[in-house]
Amino acid sequence: MSESRGEVIAMAREVVKSYDKGRITVLRGVSLEVRAGELVSLWGASGSGKSTLLHLLGGLDLPDSGDLKVCGLDPRLEADRLELRRRHLGYVFQLHNLIPDLTVEENVRVPALAVGRSPKETAARVRQLAEEVGIAHRLDHRIQDLSGGERQRTAICRALLNAPRLLLADEPTGSLDEQTGETVFGLLKTLAEREKIAVVLATHERRFAEQCHRIVRVRNGLLSEV
Ligand SMILES: Nc1ncnc2c1ncn2[C@@H]1O[C@H](COP(=O)(O)OP(=O)(O)OP(=O)(O)O)[C@@H](O)[C@H]1O
């Protein structure tokens, strides 16, 4: 590894994944490396396997074969998976997966439960992130009363709360209008670059893929750098 390049945070080697007892092979032996501070887009059509690869990297699903290493841990192993989720990973999904009845602040705080940070420290971090993404004035409002863009800003705060080393973002702008999508993507990029987080972002939109440091095309079960 050269001096100027960040540490490898996520690695997949010859990963194969099929569904339906092997009848649908989605990934046919894919390899990928993502380094600290790098924003990598997985760009491909609907159904090409972008979410599948994110799920494997995040330990939400298991590969049929191949190697995975994320922050020095193996997401195929249960103990490592738990550690990854507790300490190293942040997720942002298209439909944000927030708890509608809870407030913005309560949702953002959820990951803090896993790491035992003091309430005071957590409160300061929540406020800092909320200010940065422009949601601080809504901290005591319930998710169900917010717009799509505000919900996604909240999801970004939640994902970044524990200062993850890897952020997995699955079509994070997919449910937003064009302008709001640009804004949310810009926030994600700015915060990830500042905090030197490795980001793997699944998108079918070329305009977002192009704003990442690398574009990895997902097609026919294989990856290629664009
Ligand atoms: N649990 C599952 N069982 C069966 N097939 C599945 C399962 N999950 C995904 N698939 C199939 O695997 C393929 C890849 O799905 P995946 O969600 O990874 O694609 P994607 O590129 O993220 O698509 P999109 O952009 O629409 O989210 C699709 O054909 C999908 O139907």
**11, HSE (Cβ side, Cα atoms, 13 Å):** 10
* Binding site membership of 94 for ligand 1 (Cβ less than 6 Å): no
Confidence of residue 116 (pLDDT cuts 50, 70, 90): confident
Find all residues with CB under 8 Å of 114, minimum gap 6, and list them: 85, 86, 87, 162
Confidence of residue 4 (pLDDT cuts 50, 70, 90): low
ipTM: 0.96
Segment 122-133 shows an average pLDDT of 92
Find all residues with CB under 8 Å of 194, minimum gap 6, and list them: none
5-31 CB burial, b ≥16 within 10 A, e <16: eeebbbbbeebbbbeeeeeeebbebbe
Smallest CA separation from ligand 1 atom 25, residue: 46
* Binding site membership of 158 for ligand 1 (Cβ less than 6 Å): no
Smallest CA separation from ligand 1 atom 10, residue: 19
Mean pLDDT of the chain: 92
What do you get for the CA distance between the two ends of the chain, in Å? 22
Find all residues with CB under 8 Å of 112, minimum gap 6, and list them: 122, 125, 161, 162
**Euclidean distance between CA atoms 203 and 165, whole angstroms:** 20
Q: Report the percent of the chain where pLDDT is more than 70.
A: 98
DSSP per-residue letters across 92-137: EETT----TTSBHHHHHHGGGGGTT--HHHHHHHHHHHHHHHT-GG
Å from CA of 216 to ligand 1 middle: 17
* Binding site membership of 204 for ligand 1 (Cβ less than 6 Å): yes
Comparison of pLDDT for 12 and 119, the residue scoring more = 12
Note the pLDDT of residue 118.
85
Q: Is residue 136 scored above 90 in pLDDT? A: yes
Note the pLDDT of residue 124.
94
Segment 100-104 shows an average pLDDT of 95
Q: Report the percent of the chain where pLDDT is more than 90.
A: 74
Nearest Cα neighbor of 39 from 154, 185, 156, 153 is: 185
Note the pLDDT of residue 93.
86
Note the pLDDT of residue 180.
86
Residue 225 is given by DSSP the state E
* Binding site membership of 50 for ligand 1 (Cβ less than 6 Å): yes
Note the pLDDT of residue 95.
75
pTM of the model: 0.92
**Euclidean distance between CA atoms 32 and 214, whole angstroms:** 11
Smallest CA separation from ligand 1 atom 3, residue: 19
Distances, alpha carbon 150 to alpha carbons 72, 115, 116, 140, 167, in Å: 34, 26, 27, 13, 19
> Do residues 164 and 71 touch, judged by C-beta distance below 8 A?
no
Comparison of pLDDT for 176 and 75, the residue scoring more = 75
Q: Is residue 2 scored above 50 in pLDDT? A: no
Confidence of residue 1 (pLDDT cuts 50, 70, 90): very low
Tell me the three state secondary structure of residue 47. Answer: coil
Classify strands 222-225 and 214-219 as parallel, antiparallel or unpaired: antiparallel
Strand pairing partners for 24?
A: 19
